[in-house]
Structure 1
Amino acid sequence: MAENEVIEQNNNAMNMVMGANLEQVTKQLQAISNFQSVVQSNLKKDQDFGVIPGTQKPTLLKPGAEKIQMLFGVTSEYEEIERIQDYDKGFFAYTIRCTLSQNGTKITEGMGHCNTKEKKYIKQDPFTLANTCLKMAKKRAQIDATLTIASLSEVFTQDIEDLKDFAQQEQMETMNGNDAGNMKVTFGKHKGKTLAQIMKEEDGESYVKWLSEKAREEPMRKAASMVLSGGGTKNDSKPKKTEKDENLVTRYQLEEINKRANVIAEANNMNVDDVIGAYKIKDIESIDKKTASDLIDRLNDKVDKLQKKDDQTQQEALFDRNKPPFEDAKPIDIDNDDLPF
């Protein structure tokens, strides 16, 4: 039965081919080709379409799709086919249908879907992405519909957002130490600087470590990890850390030591260097982590003693021994009935 249906379908397709007006078909194909040339020559690169390294065809962008619709004189209408909004699990998904019409007559349609489980959204707060996903689904549906006009899928691919993963994968596979060090940060306080330049800053290492764990783009996370491990900084003045360097006092420990030493110095009219020197330490930045930890504990003990002494002094100051409190007070009689308990 199924075999007979296949044979019948093939016969119907052949009948359509045999009955086609070849001259008219040739003219239509030529018209399509001419229109494709017009589209290619009038759309602007990086505005109407983009080119991803490693792909054979340019990628149609939303502004380009809108221009093509204007060239054809078609209008677009959107219909929500599916909506999932799970606020408990933080999952949002939308499926949109875009219908292109001309003078009230339907020409074609396209489908688009987007959800918060997609790779580019997975590390972001899903509750802030609902509207973003809805717009992305509409854009994908619009481009899908536009590409069916005049067989433009021969000229363009679907969506630049869907091809970014390919570009990122290629970038990661070919990334070396030099590439990692030269990667620029495009956001935050170090915007415009390379990772190698950031590593030279006072807070550079901690910032690059944060990038290796929290950056949205995977290539940035990989580059930051490579720079932290010594890649990408070969030409920098900052030498690669040795095992001895790894055991040196941390910047956080130095800050804690200075805070406590400053309290002790103010209480004793000394300077911070003299306080630290009293513990037989000449160069605070050359001590190891364990020595720094021990020093912090000893300074803590000293600060606690100063605090207790200060509290006692303040308590004693509340009372003037030459004039005891309530010396001028007059005694009054209080009956048990006057007590609140």
Structure 2
Amino acid sequence: MSDDFKVKEDNYNYALSIIENMDIENVENSMQKIYRFQQVIQKTLVEGHDYGKTFYGSSKPSLLKPGAEKILMLLGISSEYEIIDKVQNYEDGFFAFSVKSILKKNEKIVTEGLGHSNSRERKYLGGRQDIYMLGNTCLKMAKKRALVDATLTVASLSDIFTQDMEDMTQFEEEERVETMTLKDAQNIKVTFGKYNGNTLGEIYNKDKGYIRWLAEKSREDGISRACKLILSPDFETEEVQQKANKLPPE
């Protein structure tokens, strides 16, 4: 028997012994409490303030800093931060921070989370940010990401929220819109209105007029673009007809 096989067998037996020694009734009660807590959080947090609106391509909304702070307050948990790595190059305008968020209850560490931010992220490019403010901005962003990372872990909320990415959503959505295919468009799931939970492809087969309405009236660029892609043959036909109507008689 090889040493590697022996180590794997020992690890498996140890993991099995943990399960065998568990009080299943207590485990079941704990799981029910976690589920009820998740329900309370979902009912209590406010969309647009505590968590970000789900953008297409994501099945879960993103937990925002105010929401994370509210959850920690409910749990009676405090947070501390530790910078574990940093780069501050004012000459080249490059800044990077890796931060650890330490969550404590009654002065005992409960869990930790990690967050990183640097000035080469796309949202900082293009000269829209004062170079001398970038360092502070990146540090704050790293702290925020670390806090949310830790909160998702301690509250067992990873199955209902994603990491706090509201600062990236606009840029990611723009990229998705630019590279969207017809198949992508048809698979986008609507999270509002009478067809909540249906994909745009399914809605098209049920109510073509609603897709036309979304194409022109939706305030979400992604939804509008997707609907226009799905309707593209019709749009082309209409444009041809409009041009023909404007042609002077021969």
- Shared topology, TM-score over 0.5? yes
**What residue is the counterpart of 1:117 in the other structure?**
120
C-alpha contact 2:50 2:67 (8 A) present in aligned 1? yes
Cα distance 1:13–1:164, how it changes in 2: closer, same or farther (>3 A)? farther
Cα displacement (A) at 1:162: 4.1
How does 1:1-341 map onto structure 2 within 5 Å?
1-50=3-52, 51-124=54-127, 126-159=131-164, 160-174=166-180
C-alpha contact 1:36 1:152 (8 A) present in aligned 2? yes
CA distance in 1, matches of 2:25, 2:9: 28
Cα distance 1:163–1:20, how it changes in 2: closer, same or farther (>3 A)? farther
Letter in 1 for 2:51: F
CA distance in 2, matches of 1:21, 1:164: 47
CA distance in 1, matches of 2:109, 2:71: 16
- Please tell me whether Structure 1 or Structure 2 has the larger radius of gyration of its CA atoms: 1
CA distance in 1, matches of 2:7, 2:25: 31
CA distance in 1, matches of 2:5, 2:168: 39
Cα displacement (A) at 1:82: 0.9
Cα displacement (A) at 1:9: 0.9
Aligned length: 177
* TM-score computed with the length of structure 1 as normaliser: 0.49
**CA root-mean-square deviation:** 1.9
Cα distance 1:2–1:162, how it changes in 2: closer, same or farther (>3 A)? farther
C-alpha contact 1:52 1:59 (8 A) present in aligned 2? no
C-alpha contact 1:57 1:157 (8 A) present in aligned 2? yes
C-alpha contact 1:58 1:156 (8 A) present in aligned 2? yes
Cα distance 1:19–1:162, how it changes in 2: closer, same or farther (>3 A)? farther
Cα displacement (A) at 1:150: 2.7
Letter in 2 for 1:168: E
Instruction: Choose between structure 1 and 2: higher strand proportion.
Output: 2
Letter in 1 for 2:93: G
Match of 2:6, SS state, is helix
CA distance in 1, matches of 2:50, 2:155: 17
* TM-score computed with the length of structure 2 as normaliser: 0.67
Q: Between the two proteins, what is the percent identity of the paired residues? A: 42
CA distance in 2, matches of 1:22, 1:164: 45
Letter in 1 for 2:39: S
